[in-house]
Structures are given as structure tokens and as C-alpha cells.
Amino acid sequence: MEHRLSRDCAATVIPAGHGVTLPSGTTVAIAQTLGGNVTVRTEGGLFRIASEDVPAIEGFSWATEAGDPAAGASGQATSFSEDAVWAALKSCFDPEIPVNIVDLGLVYDLVAEAGPGGGKAVQVKMTLTAQGCGMGPVIAEDARKKVAALPGVESAAVHIVWDPVWSPRMISEEGRRTLGLE
């Protein structure tokens, strides 16, 4: 189904990773609606529209489109939980792959320590499916924002690392099912 943009809209070029502005009136086709962000296809290529700009897509509704509208972990917790951090990370997606970054095997390490202000300082180490992926900083920032928004989190940092090198063997069973690899 095609939609039009009701206003100029910030977007990220996939896979290059640089920001652009899609002009008002641009026709877009929804390609993926996961993690609260929307991947759209235009005559100019593939773009990621961040959750805060999704309202610019005329006629788009989470209720009528396939996908997961979760923009982060469920806001039900009132104190810090490492499980909530993992849930927040599972709400982050590569805009080209319909599997979250945890099930893709991209998250290598998560450490939560006491921060100077009494909350938790969360450090995440993750990798990408390819070193040349321009979307890496965009995906890492999406993960950082979602973790930072959790109750009890004082600070959050997501670091992209390359050791060990990612391989498809790192995809979880759930991820394999989603991708049809089983």
C-alpha cells in the first residue's frame, strides 16, 4: 500500500546511513514496521523513518499495518531490571532485516553498574552483520535511546565492536525461524 508524506520528513538512507529530508508529497511504500520505526521504499530507494517522524506518513496506522509498534520495552517496570534492558534491545531492528538485534546475535555484552547519581550505568557491546554497514550508528543510537529511557537507567552507551566477527551461526533459533533458515 502506498502513502504520501504530509510534510517534509527526516529519514536515513539505507544502507548508507546518512540523513536526508524526504519532501512533503513524496509517495512511500511501507517495507517494514518494526521497533517503532518504519522502513519505506520510494523512487529514490530505501529509507528509515524514525518513530518521532512516522506521523508524517499520511494514512499510516500501526493498527492497520503489519509489524510491531513497540518503541521500547513495556513501561510497566518502575525500577531497574536487566530483563527490561534485554527487552528494550529486542525492540531494535536493522531496517533491512525483520529480526531484532538480540536474535540476530549482534549484542555481545551487557553490563549494568551503579552510576554516580544512584541509577544504573548501562554499557552494551554490539556488532553488525557487515563492517561497512552505514546503518550501524543509527541502530546503535536507537538501542542507546531505548535503554536510556528505561526506569533506573542513569546513563547508557552502546559500543560497536568487531571481535568476534559476526556470522549467521550467531542468529538465535527464533531469528532463524523468522528468516526461514530452519
Q: Which of 67-81, 112-126, 161-175 has the lowest mean pLDDT?
A: 67-81
User: Counting every residue, how long is the chain?
Assistant: 182
In tens, the pLDDT along 82-107 reads 999 999 999 999 998 999 999 999 99
In degrees and rounded to multiples of 5, residue 27 shows phi and psi of: -85, 130
Domain 82-179 CATH superfamily? Fe-S cluster assembly (FSCA) (3.30.300.130)
How far CA 50 is from CA of 56, 111, 124, 139, in Å, comes to: 11, 27, 21, 11
| Identity of the residue numbered 80 | F
Give the tens place of pLDDT for each residue, 57-71: 999 987 656 544 444
Radius of gyration, CA atoms only, the chain = 17
**Domain map of the chain by residue range?**
2-56, 82-179
pTM, two decimal places: 0.83
146 close to 157: Cβ distance less than 8 angstroms: no
Q: What is the CATH number of domain 2-56?
A: 2.30.30
Q: Give per-residue pLDDT as tens, 103-126.
A: 999 999 999 999 999 999 999 999
pLDDT at 65: 60
Question: Taking 80 as the threshold, does the pLDDT of residue 147 lie above it?
Answer: yes
Give the pLDDT mean for 44-55. 95
Burial class (CB in 10 A: 0-12, 13-18, 19+), 25: exposed
